[in-house]
Amino acid sequence: MAREKCVLAYSGGMDSTISAVWIQEQYDMDVVTLTVDLGAGPELDGVRDRAKQAGVTESLIWDVRDEFVEGYIWNGLKAGAMYEDVYALSTALGRPLMAKKLVEAARQVGATAVAHGCTGKGNDQVRFDAGIKTLAAHGDPLRIIAPAREWGMSRDEEKLYAAKAGLDVREVGDDQRVYSIDRNLWGQAIEGEDLEDTWFAPPEDAYSWTKPATDTPDEAVEVEISFERGVPVSLDGKKLGGVALIEQLNDIAGEHGVGRIDHLENRLVGIKSREVYETPAAVVLNDALRALETACLARDQQRMRSYVGQQYADLVYDGRWFTGYREDLDAMIESTMRYVTGDVRVRLYKGAVVVTGRRSEYSLYDFGLATYSTDDEFDHLAATGFIDIYSLPARIQHKNQTMHDAR
């Protein structure tokens, strides 16, 4: 009798490689690995070889970079979704797409279970499990296996398990450190090892996308980014697809040390976690789009977009992508972005991003009204009547209440 199948989300790293072996041992199931390519680049080299070494029956690699950009990254960018004002949600935005592909792969190969390598105290377990349960609700139920949540091994014990199983796992860092890395087009998250000490400065070998400020060029570089309805479409006048644009901007900004984030983060499960991120393109594009918004949105629109951005960041971070609320927010953001079209020039230098210009045919900036030169068209005398009406409620309250109490 054929064994049941389990589709495992597989990166080729230590956790997922150990999981492939562990599921076979503990559940007596055939394991099919699914590597969802969100733009991990060289991280995918040798993935099939490592999966084969772990004894899996089939290794799938699906390139979903375009879908990731068009259906997830741009949504987060337009919303201004920066969790706790600093994190561009590179990992969090990728998880719902991975959950979607896990369900699709399970249906395709006839699996009865899916698995991921998330721990029991992280955010990703919620993102995966909630997404899988939601998307599988209309068909045969899928069992969810989470080895790292079940086996109770420490990081050091995982290393010993890998060694005993004869597994060749990727190492990031020097010969002693093995960081936990999650990487995709939108950024990479680095955690674990000595980074768990919040006083410890991240060593340079933890970074791979960005240069330290001391090693960046001594000449600043300027980049012009064009947007259409909130979506970046070109760099320096050259039209690019989303994947190519992000890749090129990651290289340019990373060369100038832009995009390093060291953040003590509030996890969904109630603990704080030290997270180090490299998100060069995300930082630049967020700064640029927000600058363009100042020209194209009225004040109330800007403030509402800012509020929606916080809501959007929280729901993405908390694993609530497949909800009507997210769809409603997307619809509102899409409406808000309908006139956010134009160009933004940014200067990159020694880790800093400085907006030096913005322009749009839909700009609400009126030179004739804003200037103090002889071209001034503003009716200064009209301000007197405006101030009288504007201050009327305060004057009445001060007269009838504040001064009344003082008597």
Looking at domain 187-359, its CATH class is: alpha beta
Secondary structure of residue 246 in the 3-state scheme: helix
Q: Is 405 a catalytic residue?
A: no
Task: Return the CATH number of the domain spanning residue range 5-178.
Answer: 3.40.50.620
Would you say the pTM of this structure is higher than 0.85? yes
Catalytic, out of 180, 182, 274, 360: 180
What residues does 8 pair with on adjacent strands?
33, 115
Domain ranges of the chain: 5-178, 187-359, 367-406
Catalytic, out of 48, 59, 90, 124: 124
Catalytic, out of 15, 30, 129, 182: 15
Q: What is the pLDDT along the chain (407 residues), one digit of tens a residue?
A: 689 999 999 988 778 888 999 999 999 999 999 999 999 876 677 889 889 988 999 999 999 999 999 999 999 999 999 999 999 999 999 999 999 999 999 999 999 999 998 888 889 999 999 999 999 998 889 999 999 899 877 767 777 777 776 776 554 444 445 678 889 999 999 988 899 999 999 999 999 999 999 999 999 999 999 999 999 999 999 999 999 999 999 999 999 999 999 999 999 989 999 999 999 999 999 999 999 999 999 999 999 999 999 999 999 999 999 999 999 999 999 999 999 999 999 999 999 999 999 999 999 999 999 999 999 999 999 999 999 999 999 999 999 998 777 66
Secondary structure of residue 371 in the 3-state scheme: coil
Fold of 367-406: 1.20.5
Other beta carbons within 10 Å of 181: 21
Q: Is 318 a catalytic residue?
A: no
Catalytic, out of 48, 65, 95, 274: 95
Instruction: Return the amino acid letter for 112.
Output: T
Same fold yes or no, 5-178 and 187-359: no
Q: Is 326 a catalytic residue?
A: no
Q: Of 237, 255, 245, 235, which is closest to residue 349 (Cα–Cα)?
A: 255
Q: Is 30 a catalytic residue?
A: no
β-bridge pairing 352-359 and 342-349: antiparallel
**CA–CA dist 76, 88 (Å, integer):** 8
317 and 83 in contact (C-beta within 8 Å)? yes
Query: Exposed (0-12), middle (13-18) or buried (19+): which is 160, by Cβ within 10 Å?
Result: exposed
